[in-house]
Chains A and B, each alone.
Chain A
């Protein structure tokens, strides 16, 4: 993809904005990125975002950083990746460095606890919204095996705390076994 200076500027601003509001781990940032880069801008499609999520989740390091590298790289090559990393790391870096000087005072302020309480409730809504959207696209394919894979992965991780890497490896093997024999009629990558 050819990129203008303006695209890099926007990429930086979007990743900065998304990172500044990502409370509660990697999947939240993935939900926000999907909303911004897939639904709103159309810079990526749904499938790419899910692939990036899988790669980000199974690579070492923070999921948010990994995801921003993948998204940035897809949008603007190496320079895009660097732009996205800086945008993603800057908010927590500045904030935590500042807080480290005043942290005793910071966590004892009641108003801040309530602010974060409210934001956490909002974050739950955002991630549920993303899950609904993604699940609808699995549902639309109307393959019961895909639905089963989705449900099994959910149960194994949510209730049995099975290691995520194992689940991803199992998903890859399952995909290869299932789709190898040429029934991929509508997948032009």
Chain B
């Protein structure tokens, strides 16, 4: 019985790994279909909670859901099997692409294609920054003024300044701003305590 469950988990996350192109939130409908509609591993409400957790924790959303759902259904071995299923297509397809890239990137056709693509990719990363600003700054969470969370804006601007000016490690900056978040929490405790 458990073996069938593990096979089910593997196959369904294999599909998610194969067909989720575009990453992140683009993969969400596919993951929801497999986990909620097809297999009933989570209810719609539990799935929404999983998304919240995924946004708050590191890692790709597909790997997060694989580990989470796998562990809920069949313990650690379930998490392992689901995660493997989820990354296996990537491993195969991207390894072939990596090999092709290193072999053929000297070709004129390929260099021109890549050269045209680079500024486009910069634009894509810019749009990701834009959507993160949308959700981080304009979703009131801590200290909002007219729909803008000024605590988040201030913290981002200070972090940005620190990064540009002193070129320090981004991980230190992320960790540091997390600590500022905790300090804000303690302050809010003090304020409400008075």
Residues of A within 8 A of B (CB): 17-28, 30-32, 35, 47, 50-51, 53-66, 69-70, 73-74, 78, 81, 85, 89, 91-93, 95-97, 99-101, 103, 106-107, 110-132, 134-135, 138, 146-147, 149-154, 157-158, 163-165, 167-168, 170-180, 184, 187, 189
Contact = CB atoms under 8 A, between A and B. Distances in A.
Contacts of A53: 121, 124-125
A91 B59 CA distance: 7
B120 A114 contact: no
Contact of A122 (B126, B127, B176, B182): B176
Given A146-B119, A163-B22, A97 B62 contact: no
B71 interface: yes
A126 B93 contact: no
A125 B159 contact: yes
Contact of A95 (B59, B89, B97, B118): B59
B124 A164 contact: yes
9 contacts: A18-B171, A20-B58, A50-B122, A59-B90, A97-B67, A100-B72, A117-B141, A125-B163, A171-B116
A132 B128 CA distance: 13
Interface in B50-95: 50, 52-65, 67-72, 76, 79-80, 83, 86-87, 89-91, 93-95
Given A81-B95, A92-B57, A96-B71, A158 B131 contact: yes
A91 B63 CA distance: 10
B175 A32 contact: no
Contacts, number: 399
Per CB-CB distance, the 5 closest pairs between chain A and chain B, nearest first, are: A175-B116, A118-B181, A92-B59, A153-B123, A61-B90
Given A111-B185, A118-B177, A59 B63 contact: no
Nearest to B54: A96
Interface string B37-49: 0000000000001
A164 B116 contact: no
A123 B130 CA distance: 12
Given A127-B132, A172-B113, A152 B123 contact: yes
A134 to B, nearest CB: 5
Contacts of A57: 22-23, 121, 124
A165 B69 CA distance: 28
A177 B113 CA distance: 8
Interface string B108-149: 110111111111111111111111110011000110000000
A149 B116 CA distance: 8
A57 B87 CA distance: 14
A60 B93 CA distance: 8
Contact of B115 (A55, A147, A179): A179
A96 B185 contact: no
Given A23-B174, A60-B93, A153-B120, 19 more contacts: A27-B128, A59-B93, A60-B21, A61-B93, A65-B94, A100-B71, A119-B181, A121-B153, A124-B137, A125-B177, A131-B126, A151-B123, A157-B123, A164-B124, A175-B117, A176-B116, A179-B112, A184-B112, A187-B111
A118 B179 contact: yes
Contacts of A150: 119-120, 122-123, 126
A64 B59 CA distance: 8
Nearest to A91: B58
Contacts of B76: 97
B155 interface: yes
